[in-house]
Each structure stands twice: as structure tokens, then as C-alpha cells.
Amino acid sequence: MIGIILLALVFSLIGAAKASESTEDLVDDIPEYNGSLGPDNPFYGFRLALENWDESFTLNATEKLDKKVANSRMRIAEAKAELKKKNSEAAQNAFEHYKEKIKETEASISEIPGNDSGILNAQKMIAKDQYALEKLLESHPDNIGIQSAYNNNRELEYKFENKSERHLERVKTNEGRHVLKVIKQEEKGIKKEEAKQERQVNKEENKDGEKE
């Protein structure tokens, strides 16, 4: 009986270790927005107001964070659709609202404990957003709106890392898949001063892009 208990304990510890090292596929899972109230529609502001209203009446902090992240992803979906239609002004409008939602998301992080599972889940979504924005930059390298959104996303990523004390490292598997691997900051050996300098560089690039 003792042997069985010890064996069960070993398997449980192995399972916990695997869970801590779990990976998740990194894909651009943001489809183009196909609705009628896009950023070039006169009622677009009303639609955004309804989203904000829904967020404000969500009392649970984790659920509110989820909604803010989902709504920020929707701005990318809208921008994708407008870029495909070569409607750069409407795409820029979507990216401006993406920037606003990112700032709101950043403020929401402080309301949730760093060990809350919702923080890590939201952090993964932000990492996927960054991947989607990188893909857009590849096809639209001179688009200032995409570059600004990417920089905003990077800044938010640092905020999540500081809160969760986890870094999401990109890994390419032998099969050619790109995955996100969760790593504790102390394991990665992150130097705060270096991270601070990198954030400053991103801010300066963002300002220069907006001036242009």
C-alpha cells in the first residue's frame, strides 16, 4: 500500500512538472472582422460604447480583464479587414482604439493578483496579438499604425511579465511549429535594467513613428 501511494505521488509530481513546462501553439488566430459596424461606419463609436458599457458592469476583475483583451483583439480584426480593403484611414482608426484598450488593460492588471490564472491566460493572448501584428508588419512594413500598435503591445507584455513573474518564450519545434513556453523570470535570468532599457527604446521608436 505504501508503495502504491509513493508511486502515485511520483506521477503527480511529474504531472505538475510537465504542467509548469507546458507549451501552447503560437498562431495568428485573429480572423478579419466581417461585421457591418466596422471603423468606417458612422455607428462604430456606438458599438465601442456598448463594449465599454459591458466591461464597466463586469464586477469580477478577471472577467473584466478577459473582456478587455478580447475587445483589443477585435480592433486588430477590424484593422485587418480594412487593410485588405486598402482603407488605411479606417485601419488607423481601429489601431487608435486598440491603443486606448491596451492602456485600459494595463490599468486592469493591478486589480488582479499575479498568481491568478487569468493573468497568465491574458498574457498568452497578448503574446498572440503580438504575433498577429508582426505578420501584419511583414505585409505592410511602412504602416505607422501597425508599428505603433506593436510597440504598445510590447509595453503591455512587460507589464504582464512583471505581474505574473513569467516570461513567454517562443520556441520552434522539430516539426516546425511555433509554440509559447512559460518560463519563470528567475529561470530566464531577466535583468530588470536591461528590460527597462528595451522598453525605453520601444517608446522612442513609437514616438518617432507617430511624428512621421
| Residue 2, pLDDT score | 57
Question: Is residue 166 included in any domain, yes or no?
Answer: yes
Question: Is residue 12 included in any domain, yes or no?
Answer: no
Question: Is residue 57 included in any domain, yes or no?
Answer: yes
Tens of pLDDT, residue by residue, the chain (212 residues): 555 544 444 444 444 344 344 678 888 999 999 999 999 999 999 999 999 999 999 999 999 999 999 999 999 999 999 999 999 999 999 999 999 999 999 999 988 988 899 999 999 999 999 999 999 999 999 999 999 999 999 999 999 999 999 999 989 888 888 888 988 876 555 545 555 556 566 666 656 655 55
Question: Is residue 169 included in any domain, yes or no?
Answer: yes
Question: Is residue 6 included in any domain, yes or no?
Answer: no
| Residue 20, pLDDT score | 41
- 109 and 163 Cβ atoms separated by less than 8 Å: yes
Q: For residue 44, what are the contacts with CB-CB under 8 A and spacing of at least 6?
A: 37, 38, 93
- Identify residue 80 by its one-letter amino acid code: K
- 46 and 146 Cβ atoms separated by less than 8 Å: no
| Residue 95, pLDDT score | 97
Question: Is residue 5 included in any domain, yes or no?
Answer: no
Question: Is residue 21 included in any domain, yes or no?
Answer: no
Domain total of the chain: 1
* Number of helices followed by number of strands (H, E) in the chain: 8, 3
- 45 and 78 Cβ atoms separated by less than 8 Å: no
Domain hosting residue 43, numbered range: 26-211
Predicted model pTM: 0.79
Question: Is residue 18 included in any domain, yes or no?
Answer: no
